């Protein structure tokens, strides 16, 4: 590890396995841009991860570029943030293999994402789906980050990454910085609008549960109108996640989009019921996403620019990642080239 390092490092990624949702935005991307002036930031499209579930090649390519456009449209300036495509930086798979050999079968078996995804894809429980967290640990550790901004569902993977890094450091000395997950206070777990006890997920089969970043305002408004609220008789806007998961989910979305605290939201809709609340949440989301959609559409018309960004990003990322990989190869005893 480099000593006296002044700038802190942040890193995260998203799988282009579906169109980006409001969950990916509020749980992760919204947090990414905030510290670009103080931190060295690396954000990537995790295409290698996405093939653990079968993808249509043309869709994967399209979504990877759309995701890059959306990162930029969400405020990640490519001059200040290193934006790249994971498969363009071979060090990820190289370190991924090494870390596979330092990650235990029992640890991988306990991952809830593995359990969920293998239940959903019973016909394709492949080795990559199982060893995925070792690749994710490599994604992270290559860049020696201090923080990994993710939603709540990825906390377990970041914790496993820390355990693997500590195990490696215990054997070979101070090779990896031990990163911390950086999870937002509101929006860390956005739930489906149609089934508010399940997570909003870009690979969800029910599109009514998900709001996508590039979706038209009228479609977003319709989805919120139909959002499942709770069948309690009081019908008042009150934050009670156990009792009223549908309303609590809408309140957290509204809070994340407007910055209002739960008590303020309860006061705002006191005596007005769900009929007034749902359109207000829809408006807040539409206004939050409007500039992102417009800017993404503009960027997607300029493929040359996007290409320039991901090429430069891969080059910068590879220079940092290569340094860590060389150190690891040396430590484990590989002969230098
Ligand atoms: P992925 O692609 O499932 O999700 C991307 C990011 O969005 C967050 N997120 C949510 N947050 C709140 N509510 C939701 N409903 C919601 N849905 C998604 C996720 O927590 C995540 O931060 N394994 C990762 C991708 C990855 C990665 C990495 C992340 C690969 N390598 C290295 C960080 C560092 C994943 O599947 O995220």
117 flagged as catalytic: yes
Q: What pLDDT sits at residue 149?
A: 95
Query: What is the 331 CA–ligand 1 centroid distance (Å)?
Result: 31
Name the closest-CA residue to atom 4, ligand 1: 14
Instruction: Using the CB atoms, write b or e for 268-302: b if 16+ within 10 Å.
Output: ebeeeebeebbebbbbbbbebbeebbebbeebbee
User: Under a CB-based contact definition with an 8 Å cutoff, are residues 306 and 85 in contact?
Assistant: no
Q: Which CATH class, in words, describes the domain spanning 207-297?
A: mainly alpha
In terms of pTM, does the model score above 0.85?
Answer: yes
- Listed by start position, the domains of the chain span 2-183+302-332, 207-297
The CA distances from residue 128 to 36, 97, 118, 131, 152, in Å, are: 32, 11, 11, 5, 22
Atom of ligand 1 nearest to the CA of 187: 12
Pocket of ligand 1 (CB under 6 A): 12-15, 23-24, 26-28, 46, 49, 136, 139-140, 148, 150-151, 153-154, 157, 188-190, 199-201
Nearest to 223 by CA among 242, 207, 238: 207
Query: What is the 134 CA–ligand 1 centroid distance (Å)?
Result: 15
User: Under a CB-based contact definition with an 8 Å cutoff, are residues 273 and 236 in contact?
Assistant: yes
Give the list of residues 6+ apart from residue 19 with CB closer than 8 angstroms, or none: 63, 66, 202, 212, 213, 214
Q: What is the CATH number of domain 2-183+302-332?
A: 3.40.50.620
Mutate to test the pocket of ligand 1, among 9, 10, 14, 182 (most ligand atoms within 8 A of CB): 14
Give every residue of the chain whose pLDDT is below 50, as ranges. Answer: 3
Q: What pLDDT sits at residue 40?
A: 95
Q: What pLDDT sits at residue 310?
A: 98
202 flagged as catalytic: yes
* Helix extents (H) in the chain: 22-24, 30-32, 47-50, 57-73, 91-100, 105-109, 112-120, 127-141, 155-172, 217-225, 245-258, 262-268, 273-300, 303-332
Q: What pLDDT sits at residue 112?
A: 96
Q: What pLDDT sits at residue 230?
A: 82
199 flagged as catalytic: yes
């Amino acid at each position: 590890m480099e000593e006296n390092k002044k700038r802190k490092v942040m890193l995260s990624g998203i799988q282009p396995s579906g169109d980006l949702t409001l969950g990916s935005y509020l749980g992760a991307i919204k947090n990414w841009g905030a510290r670009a002036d103080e931190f060295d930031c690396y954000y990537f499209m995790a295409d290698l991860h996405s093939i653990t579930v079968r993808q249509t090649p043309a869709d994967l390519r399209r979504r990877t570029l759309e995701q890059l456009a959306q990162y930029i449209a969400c405020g990640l300036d490519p001059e200040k943030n290193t934006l790249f495509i994971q498969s363009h930086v071979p060090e990820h798979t190289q370190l991924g293999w090494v870390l596979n050999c330092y990650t235990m079968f029992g640890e991988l078996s306990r991952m809830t994402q593995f359990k969920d995804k293998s239940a959903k894809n019973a016909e394709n429980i492949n080795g990559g789906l199982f060893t995925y967290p070792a690749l994710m640990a490599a994604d992270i550790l290559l860049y020696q980050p201090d923080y990994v901004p993710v939603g709540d569902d990825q906390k377990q993977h970041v914790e496993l990454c820390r355990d693997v890094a500590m195990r490696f450091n215990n054997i070979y000395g101070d090779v990896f910085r031990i990163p911390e997950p950086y999870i937002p206070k509101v929006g860390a777990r956005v739930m489906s609008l149609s089934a508010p006890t399940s997570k909003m997920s870009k690979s969800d089969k029910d599109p009514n549960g998900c709001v996508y970043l590039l979706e038209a305002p009228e479609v977003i408004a319709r989805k919120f109108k139909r959002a499942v609220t709770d069948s309690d008789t009081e019908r008042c806007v009150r934050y009670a996640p156990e009792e009223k998961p549908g309303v609590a989910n809408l309140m957290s979305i509204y809070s994340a989009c407007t910055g209002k605290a739960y008590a303020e939201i309860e006061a705002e809709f006191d005596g007005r019921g769900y009929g007034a609340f749902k359109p207000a949440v829809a408006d807040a989301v539409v206004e939050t996403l409007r500039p992102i959609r417009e800017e993404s559409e503009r960027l997607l018309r300029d493929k040359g620019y996007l290409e320039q960004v991901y090429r430069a990003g891969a080059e910068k990322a590879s220079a940092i990642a290569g340094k860590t990989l060389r150190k690891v190869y040396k430590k484990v005893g590989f002969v230098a080239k």
